[in-house]
């Protein structure tokens, strides 16, 4: 979302050449979140040049309608919001059936406990650390506690579920997020708006 869309190919190349592990793509429908971002066509173009997995974050109402379409254009991980689908189990199965890795996203005020009975089925849980819809926002403090609770749940279940954090991640808060138990950090503005994105990614990757 934070990339320069008039220069998408060079932005994709930059990420290819960086230490980043995945491309994180924010799809917004103007209903589930107030903003509209981009959809199938843009991701198809990114896929042409991307040399790393596509982590597709669907901020759309009733995502079950589009799982197949995103799988067909090369999504590797598909993240759907807990709040956007009525039958979470069915939608996660749908994602598995098309050969993608299923991931569930929780909004800021959705408690992690709602995932207790389905954690084993989640390749990843994405915790929103801002109110989704726009880039460039400041991370909310509540995130740290939520990561710790989720980490406990995952460890208690002996599951391999990854914890991903999305929203306001930067060089200042990354270490604390990792210390609380996060596995995957999404960085938008803090990377793309920095002087040297490749260096910033490298700094983020080498925090320990």
Interface with Zn ion (CB under 5 A): 26, 57, 166
CB of 158 to Zn ion, least distance (A): 28
C-alpha 97/C-alpha 82 separation (Å) is 19
C-alpha distances out from residue 97 to 35, 86, 100, 117, 121, Å? 30, 18, 7, 20, 13
Active site residues: 26, 166
Residue nearest to Zn ion (CB): 57
Dihedral (CA of 99, 36, 150, 92) sign:
negative
Neighbour-count burial for 101-139, b at 16+ CB within 10 Å, e otherwise: bbbbbbbeebebeebeeebebbbbbbbbbbebbebeeeb
- Are 102 and 155 in contact by the 8 Å Cβ rule? The answer is no
C-alpha 79/C-alpha 26 separation (Å) is 10
Q: Which is nearer to Zn ion, 115 or 169 (CB)?
A: 169
CB of 128 to Zn ion, least distance (A): 8
CB of 186 to Zn ion, least distance (A): 6
CB of 188 to Zn ion, least distance (A): 8
Tokens 């995945």 belong to 22
Q: Which is nearer to Zn ion, 57 or 81 (CB)?
A: 57
Give residue 131's region: left, alpha or beta (phi > 0; psi -120 to 50).
beta
Residues in Cβ contact with 33 at an 8 Å cutoff, skipping those fewer than 6 apart: 59, 132, 133
CB of 13 to Zn ion, least distance (A): 21
């Amino acid at each position: 979302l934070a990339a320069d869309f008039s220069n998408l190919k060079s932005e994709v190349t930059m990420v290819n050449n960086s230490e980043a592990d995945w491309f994180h793509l924010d799809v917004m429908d103007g209903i589930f979140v107030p903003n509209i971002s981009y959809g199938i066509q843009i991701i198809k173009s990114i896929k042409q040049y991307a040399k790393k997995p596509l982590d597709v974050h669907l901020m759309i109402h009733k995502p079950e309608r589009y799982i197949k379409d995103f799988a067909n254009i090369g999504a590797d991980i598909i993240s759907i919001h807990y709040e956007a689908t009525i039958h979470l189990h069915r939608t996660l199965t749908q994602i598995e059936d098309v050969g993608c890795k299923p991931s569930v996203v929780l909004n800021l005020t959705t408690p992690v406990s709602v995932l207790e009975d389905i954690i084993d089925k989640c390749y990843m849980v994405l915790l929103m650390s801002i109110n989704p819809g726009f880039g460039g926002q400041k991370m909310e403090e509540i995130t740290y506690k939520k990561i710790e609770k989720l980490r406990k749940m995952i460890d208690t279940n002996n599951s391999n579920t990854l914890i991903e954090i999305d929203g306001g991640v930067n060089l200042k808060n990354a270490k604390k997020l990792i210390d609380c138990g996060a596995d995957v950090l999404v960085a938008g503005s803090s990377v793309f708006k920095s002087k040297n994105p490749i260096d910033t990614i490298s700094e983020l990757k080498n925090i320990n």
